Amino acid sequence: MERLQKVIANSGLCSRRKAEEWIKEGRVSVNGEVITEMGVKVSAHDIILVDGKPLPVLVKTYLVMNKPVGVLSSTTDDKGRKTVISILPKEYQGLGLYPVGRLDYDTKGVLIITNDGEFMHTLIGPKSNLKKEYLARIDGLITKEEVRTLEQGVVIDGKKTRKCDARIIDADRKNNSTLVSITLVEGNYHQVKNMFLAIGYNVKKLTRIKFGEVEIGNLSPGEVRELKPHEIKRLVVLSKFNLFNVKK
């Protein structure tokens, strides 16, 4: 027996959070009875309908994309803009895929895409300790002292960010800019950009180069590859046990 929202998410129809919303909205029934409360457990013999339709038979799929700039990290867009799902190869269309977390419209790099809701929740849920590494090209010449400030956490909207790792990769004095590596376990909205803004710097370009241990490799912008079984297992392990240690 498993919780209803987990079963719906595991079908690939949506994320677990979205499944909970649908249950509260009265869109889910079990054996003909509409369910509106959390905590209901179901078995493989129960008939589950969402909006009157049975759950899809899921072929679990796990991809990594080199997300290009100018593409939305979403499944659809009411303005007709390109999304990470719309640019997928034909063989991956119609599988109920969605991005794991988000990268900003003007941010590129590693993005995991799946239709496994439980897997997604493990990687980006509130208990996840999965590291994400970014390269940020910022306006100005940041100092080592300011980098240490970033590492200890900065206050954004009244809340202090968790500790992270950061280091200067390159200082371009001629063009007055710095390339900084920053590794986080958080993934709040515009987090990297807002962290640099908190200490007085604007981010010009942002690339996520690593998600857990998954890297872009030879993928061109917009290209995808399937994650290998050991990569999938490793992401789950790292999300649960890779506690963050900031270097001294």
Question: 104 an active-site residue?
Answer: yes
- Residues 213 and 219: their CA atoms lie apart, in Å, by 15
* Residue matched to tokens 């239709």: 115
Q: Token digits for 224?
A: 């995808």
The CA–CA distances, whole Å, from 57 to 7, 21, 62, 120, 240 equal 12, 21, 16, 18, 28
Task: Give me the phi and psi of 121, to 5 degrees please.
Answer: -65, -35
**Selected catalytic residue, list 104, 116, 157, 170:** 104
Angle at 146 (CA atoms; ends 144, 149), nearest 5 degrees: 115
Alpha-carbon 54 to chain mean position:
28
Do the Cβ atoms of 154 and 199 come closer than 8 Å?
Answer: yes
- Catalytic annotation, residues: 104
